Chain A
Amino acid sequence: MKNSNSLLLLLVSLLLVLVSGVLLWTWGFRVYNKNEVNTVAAASAPRDSAGIAAAIRDSLQKVYKATITSLDAHIDSTLYGTDSLRTQLTAKLEAFFRLKAEINVLLKNRGPGNDIPLAKEKIIALQQKLEELRNRNVDVENENKKLSALLEQLNSAGKNNAGLNARKTGFENTLAGSSTGNFIASDMRLSAVMVEAEKERETTLAQQTEKLVGSFVVKNAAGQFNNTEVMVVVLQPDGRVLKSSAWESGIFNTPEGKKIYSYKLSFDYSRGEAKKLLFSLSADKYQKGNYTMQVYHNGAVIGRMSKTLS
Chain B
Amino acid sequence: MYSVCTRTVVAAVLLFIFFTNANAQPKRNEPPASAQVFAGIEVGSKGVKMTIVEAGKNEVKNGNLRTVKDTSVNTDFISFTQPTYQATLNGLSKLYEEAVTVYRVEPGHVFTAISSGVKIQADKESKNNWIEQLINAFRNNIKEPGRKVTVVDVVEEARLSHLGIIPDARRYNTFLIDIGSGNTKGGYFPKGNTKDLKLFQLTWGTKSTLNAADKRLDGDKSLSNYNRQLERVLAAAETSEIEYAVNQSGAYPMSDNVAFSGGIAWSLATLMYPELIDNSVVPVNYEELVKFNERILNSHATLSDYYITRTMVENSADTAVVAREVKRVNQVFDQRSLLAGTGLMLKIMRQFAGVQERKNFFLVKNGQVGWISAYVNQNIRK
Contacts and interface: CB of A to CB of B under 8 A. Distances in A.
Q: Do A and B interact with each other, yes or no?
A: yes
B316 A170 contact: no
Interface in B257-288: 273, 275-276, 279-283, 285-287
A239 interface: yes
Contacts of A87: 311
Nearest to B276: A251
Say what secondary structure dominates the interface of chain B.
mixed
B101 interface: no
Nearest to B311: A87
Interface string A239-262: 111010111011100000111100
A239 B315 contact: yes
Nearest to A168: B350
B307 A91 contact: yes
A172 B316 contact: no
A170 B285 contact: yes
A250 B279 CA distance: 9
Contacts of B356: 163, 166-167, 226-227
Interface stretch (B153-161, B184-192, B294-302): B294-302
Contact of B355 (A85, A91, A170): A170
Interface residues of A, number: 36
A258 B313 contact: yes
Given A139-B298, A251-B273, A226 B283 contact: no
B300 to A, nearest CB: 11
Contact of B283 (A169, A250, A259): A250
B307 A264 contact: no
A19 to B, nearest CB: 23
A246 B279 contact: yes
Contacts of A163: 355-356
Nearest to A158: B355
A259 B282 contact: no
B294 to A, nearest CB: 7
Contacts of A304: none
Contacts of A3: none
Interface string B227-271: 000000000000000000000000000000000000000000000
Given A88-B302, A258-B313, A243 B294 contact: no
B69 interface: no
A136 interface: yes
Given A167-B354, A169-B355, A243 B313 contact: no
Contacts of B358: 170, 173, 227, 266
A29 interface: no
Contacts of A257: 313
Contacts of B360: 266
B276 A249 contact: yes
Nearest to B286: A170
B294 A143 contact: yes
Contact of A168 (B275, B307, B354): B354
A250 B276 contact: yes
Contacts of A136: 298-299
B280 A250 contact: no
A243 B273 CA distance: 15
B316 A260 contact: yes
Contacts of A27: none
A298 B299 CA distance: 26
A171 B355 CA distance: 7
A250 B313 contact: no
Contacts of A171: 287, 355
Contacts of B313: 251, 257-260
Contacts of B302: 88, 91
Contacts of B301: 91
Nearest to B358: A227
Nearest to B167: A247
Given A87-B311, A171-B287, A249 B355 contact: no
A47 B355 CA distance: 77
B282 A246 contact: yes
A167 B316 CA distance: 35
A198 B200 CA distance: 42
B362 interface: yes
B286 to A, nearest CB: 5
A250 B354 contact: no
B353 interface: yes
B170 interface: yes
Contact of A88 (B275, B282, B299, B315): B299
Contacts of B170: 247
Contacts of A174: 287
20 contacts: A91-B301, A91-B307, A135-B298, A163-B356, A166-B354, A167-B356, A169-B355, A170-B353, A170-B354, A170-B355, A171-B355, A226-B356, A227-B357, A239-B315, A245-B167, A250-B273, A250-B282, A259-B313, A260-B313, A264-B283
Closest 7 CB pairs of A and B: A166-B355, A246-B279, A250-B283, A167-B354, A172-B355, A170-B353, A246-B281
Given A170-B286, A251-B273, 6 more contacts: A88-B299, A91-B301, A167-B355, A169-B355, A170-B355, A249-B279
Interface of B: 167, 170, 273, 275-276, 279-283, 285-287, 294-295, 298-299, 301-302, 307, 311-313, 315-316, 350-351, 353-358, 360, 362
Interface of A: 85, 87-88, 91, 135-136, 139, 143, 163, 166-174, 226-227, 239-241, 243, 245-247, 249-251, 257-260, 264, 266
